[in-house]
Amino acid sequence: MSDPVRLAKRVAELAHCSRTDAQHYIKNGWVRVDGRVVEDPAHPVSSEAVVVDPAARVEAVEPATLLLHKPAGFDTISGPRPAAALVSPASRWPEDPSGVALLERHFHRLTPLVPLDAEASGLMVLTQDGRVWRRLTEDRDDIEQEYVVEVRGEIAPYGLRKLNHGLHYNGRPLPPCKVSWQNEIRLRFALKGVQGGQLRHMCAQVGLEVVSIRRLRIGKVSLAKMPAGLWRYLPVGERF
């Protein structure tokens, strides 16, 4: 048996490339050791079969952003039932259209962004990407979010007009937003700078009780048809 060497050294020899390029191949999931993808360039190998995917390309190691359909009852940012615990290789949406290869490193150091009430469901963002973090943190109040809110009760006179403009929350007037009936029991909200508990309070001010809340969209990124409890990647080039 030969002495163990670093996987990056073996890949550089096999692919006739530099050690730096070999590290990119490994970190991007293009290398298998005895049939298993290994993402650590320092992984020791000796007699194992090392195979470099013929389609391997030298690319920068991109940080991942994951989009989760959070079920009701889970916490986004902090709390006893973190929704982040639902994210695993097994819970990836089978119909994920992103084309991003699933890698183990994509599940490390994920930061949840854009709060969503625990009792609400819908689109949630977890990221390793500082650019996404800045966009959804520093510019959050400028990004429109869309919700479907199921309600019961009788709406007050001119209630829909008031929901669009004229209500207060936490002692301050709310800016204009877009609210319309989706059907006889569901309202569709499109608004910016939404705060925790705001949608329930808005509905209560016009005589409606909220049954459920689901976030459909953050900026240009939508939940689509992804079932609750599953996640997909944000494709490279797609922006909030």
Domains and CATH numbers, the chain: 5-52 (3.10.290.10), 65-140+221-233 (3.30.70.580), 144-218 (3.30.70.1560)
Q: Give the burial class of 10: count Cβ atoms within 10 A of its Cβ; 0-12 exposed, 13-18 middle, 19 or more buried.
A: buried
Q: Is 19 helix (H, G, I), strand (E, B) or coil?
A: helix
pLDDT given for residue 223 in this prediction:
95
Q: Among residues 81, 83, 198, which one has the least CA distance to residue 147?
A: 198
- Under DSSP, is residue 179 helix (H, G, I), strand (E, B) or coil? strand
Amino acid occupying residue 103: L
User: Which residue, among 41, 78, 32, has the nearest Cα to 61 in the 3D structure?
Assistant: 41
Rounded to two decimals, the pTM is: 0.82
DSSP 71-108: PTT-BSSSSSSBGGGG-SGGGB-TT--S-PPP-GGGGS
- The predicted pLDDT at position 99 comes to 85
Q: Give, for all 240 residues of the chain, the pLDDT tens digit.
A: 578 888 888 888 888 888 888 887 888 788 888 888 887 888 988 888 888 888 777 777 789 999 999 999 999 998 899 999 999 999 999 999 998 889 888 998 999 999 999 999 999 999 999 999 999 999 999 999 999 999 999 999 999 999 999 999 998 999 999 999 999 999 999 999 999 999 999 999 999 999 999 999 999 999 999 999 999 999 988 899
> Kind of pairing, strands 121-127 and 209-218?
parallel
